[in-house]
Structure 1
Amino acid sequence: MTWPWVGTDTVSYEDALKNAMREAPDVILIGEIRDRTNMQHAIAYAETGHLCLSTLHGSNAAHVMERILTFFPRDMHPQLFMDLAHNLVAIISQRLVRGEDGRRLPAVEVMLITPLIRDLISKGRIDEIREAMDRSSEPGLQTFDQSLFELYKSGRISEELAMQNAESQSDLGVKIRLDKGGELDTGGMETEERLP
C-alpha cells in the first residue's frame, strides 16, 4: 500500500480528492471534512459504493449533521438530505472523561443510520434526531448521556463527573436516581388517576 504525498504524487489536496477514484481504492479516508467540496467528494465516493471515512468536528451526532448543512446553501438542502439518507452509514462522536482511576475514558455517542434515523434525515427533520436516539431501543443508537450512565453504573466514573459531562443533566439525574432505587420528585403533583 502506498500513500500519495501532496507535492510528490499529486499537485494539491483537492487534486488528490478528484483523482482518488482512479486508484481503484477499497477504502478512502479524508482526514477532515472542512468544506462543501470535501463533503461532496465524500458523498460521491459513497454513492459509487466505496467506504469513505472522515472526521468532522462536532459536539454530538446531531451537531455534525447541522455542520454538514452549513457547508451548503439552503436551496441544496433537499438533495443533500436525500444523499445523506441514502449514503451515510454512521456518525460516531467521542469525548474523553476522567475515570475514577485517573485515566481518560471515552464516552461515545453512536448514531447508526437505522430506518428511523434515515427517515428523519430524508425529511430534513435533523432537530428530531437527538430525541429519537434518546427514546429508541434500536441497537446502534447510543447518546452521550446513555454512555455516561453506563460508565457511572459500572463504577468507572463518578456521579459528579457523569453529571458535569451530561448533555441533559436532568434526564441523566433521573436515570441515576432510579438506578439507586430512588423515587422521582413529582413536585407535589398527584400521580394517581382519580376515577369518578
Structure 2
Amino acid sequence: MSLRFEIQELFTEASRKNASDIHISVGFPPTFRIDEQLYPIDHPPLTATDVRSILSRLISETQLERFYSERELDFSFNFTLANGEIVRFRGNCSFERGNLALALRLIPQRIRLIKHLLLPPQIQEVTKRRHGLFLVTGPTGHGKSTTLAAIIQEINLTRSCHIVTIEDPIEYIFTSAKSLIHQREVEVDTSSFAEALRRVLRQDPDVIMIGEMRDLETTRAAITAAETGHLVLTTLHTPDAPQSIDRILDIFPPHQQEQVKLQLANILIGVCSQQLVPLPGGGRIVATELMWAVPAVQNCIRERKIHGLKSIIQTGLDQGMHTMDQDLARLVKEGKLPYDLAASYAFDLKDFNRVLHT
C-alpha cells in the first residue's frame, strides 16, 4: 500500500467521521478529534520517517525549508479524497522532543450562513455596518473562523463591497458574488499582518477581515482602519467581552492607553464570545456571549471601568445582549443541553443557576 494511498484513506476516514482535527506524531497512531474527544485509529505507531514523508507531501519545498529553518510552520492546503471530494485543511507542524508533529484541522468547503450556525440573529446587523470594529473571541477550536466566514459570506451575498482578508493561513475559500473578495496569506502574499494592514488602506477596501489581532502593530492598524471608515472584523483568544477589551488596551504602552480607550469606545461595534459545546448524541452547539457598544458600554471603556461591563450585558437583553451563562441556561431550558454538561461550561456557576431558575 503506497504512502499516498494511506494518506488519502486517512483523510477520507476523518472526513467521514466528521473529525475536526487529525494529530500525526512519532510513536503514536494517527489520532482524530471528534466532538472534543481524541480517538487513536487502528494503525501501527508512526515512525519519524512516516511523519517526514507525510509532511513532504502536504507542503511545498519552500515551506519545508522555512519550517526546518524556523522550527514552526502554519499552512493550509486542499486534498482530493478517494471519492473525488476536495477537502481543505489548516495545518501546523512543529517539533516535540526533536521529532516532527502535525496538527491538521478540517475546514468545511461549504461556508454556512449565520442562521445555519445557530448564532444570535442580532449578528446579522454587523453585515450592514459600513465602519467600525467587531470582535469574535473564544478558545482555539471553538469556531471563531467559521463565524467570521459566515459574516463575510452574508456581506458577499448581499452588498457590493471590496472585501480584503488577511489570514495566516487562509482557511475558508470565498467565491466573489455581489462583492469582490481578495484573500491575502501571510508569508505567501505578504510578509506579516502588520505589513498587509499598512498597505490595505490603499487597496480601496470596504471590509477588512484580519485572522487575528495578535500584536501591537496589528491592533493599532486595525483600530486605524476602523476609524477611517472601514468595517474591520477580527478575532481574539479571550473568553469573554470584558477580557477582550482589557486585552486590547493592555497591548498598548501605558502612556498610549488613554487615547486608545477613546478610540476603542468610538469604533467598537460589539464582541461575540463563543464556545462549542459537545452534544450527547454527537455534534456540537454554539453558546455565545454578546455585547454591543451601547452608550453605557462606551462609557465603561472610556473610563476603563471594565468590571462594570458584565452587569451591563446581564441587564441588556432588550438591547440584544446576553452573557455566556445566560445563553447556556437558555440552551438547558430549551432542552438542547443537559444541565451537568452546560454547567461544566459556565463561567460563573452561581450566576448560571440563578438564571436557570428565573
Band the TM-score falls in, shorter-chain normalisation: 0.7 to 0.9
Deviation per residue, 1:135-170 (Å, 9 max, x gap): 333322111011101111110001111211111111
Go from structure 1 to structure 2 and tell me whether the alpha carbon gap of 1:85 and 1:13 turns closer, same or farther (over 3 Å shift).
Answer: closer
Map of 1:47 onto structure 2? 227
Map of 1:107 onto structure 2? 287
Note if contact 2:193-2:218 (Cα within 8 Å) is conserved in structure 1.
no
Map of 1:154 onto structure 2? 334
2:289 and 2:227 map into 1 onto residues whose CA distance is 25
Specify which of 321, 327, 350 is matched with residue 170 of structure 1. Answer: 350
Structure with bigger helix share is 1
Go from structure 1 to structure 2 and tell me whether the alpha carbon gap of 1:5 and 1:151 turns closer, same or farther (over 3 Å shift).
Answer: closer
2:274 and 2:287 map into 1 onto residues whose CA distance is 6
2:240 and 2:347 map into 1 onto residues whose CA distance is 9
Note if contact 2:326-2:355 (Cα within 8 Å) is conserved in structure 1.
no
Note if contact 1:100-1:156 (Cα within 8 Å) is conserved in structure 2.
no
2:229 and 2:285 map into 1 onto residues whose CA distance is 34
Deviation per residue, 1:37-80 (Å, 9 max, x gap): 11111110011110011111101111111111220122222111
Aligned length, in residue pairs: 178
Specify which of 191, 201, 215 is matched with residue 21 of structure 1. Answer: 201
Partner AA of 1:141 in structure 2: M
2:286 and 2:190 map into 1 onto residues whose CA distance is 36
Q: Secondary structure at the match of 2:183?
A: coil
Instruction: State the shift of 1:129 in Å.
Output: 0.7
Partner AA of 1:130 in structure 2: K
Instruction: State the shift of 1:6 in Å.
Output: 4.8
Partner AA of 2:355 in structure 1: K
In the alignment, is residue 121 of structure 1 matched against residue 301 of structure 2?
yes
Can you give the 5+ residue segments of structure 2 that lack an aligned partner in the other structure?
Answer: 1-180
Can you give the 5+ residue segments of structure 1 that lack an aligned partner in the other structure?
Answer: 179-196
Q: Secondary structure at the match of 1:110?
A: strand
1:4 and 1:174 map into 2 onto residues whose CA distance is 46
Map of 2:183 onto structure 1? 3
Q: Secondary structure at the match of 1:142?
A: coil
Specify which of 187, 210, 214 is matched with residue 30 of structure 1. Answer: 210
Note if contact 2:194-2:221 (Cα within 8 Å) is conserved in structure 1.
no
- Which aligned pairs between 1:31-110 and structure 2 lie closer than 5 A? 31-110=211-290
Instruction: State the shift of 1:5 in Å.
Output: 4.7
Q: TM-score, normalised by structure 1?
A: 0.84
1:126 and 1:6 map into 2 onto residues whose CA distance is 33
1:4 and 1:113 map into 2 onto residues whose CA distance is 29
Partner AA of 1:50 in structure 2: H
Q: Secondary structure at the match of 1:105?
A: strand
1:132 and 1:43 map into 2 onto residues whose CA distance is 24
1:120 and 1:175 map into 2 onto residues whose CA distance is 24
Partner AA of 1:164 in structure 2: S
Structure with bigger strand share is 2
Partner AA of 1:3 in structure 2: Q
1:7 and 1:98 map into 2 onto residues whose CA distance is 35
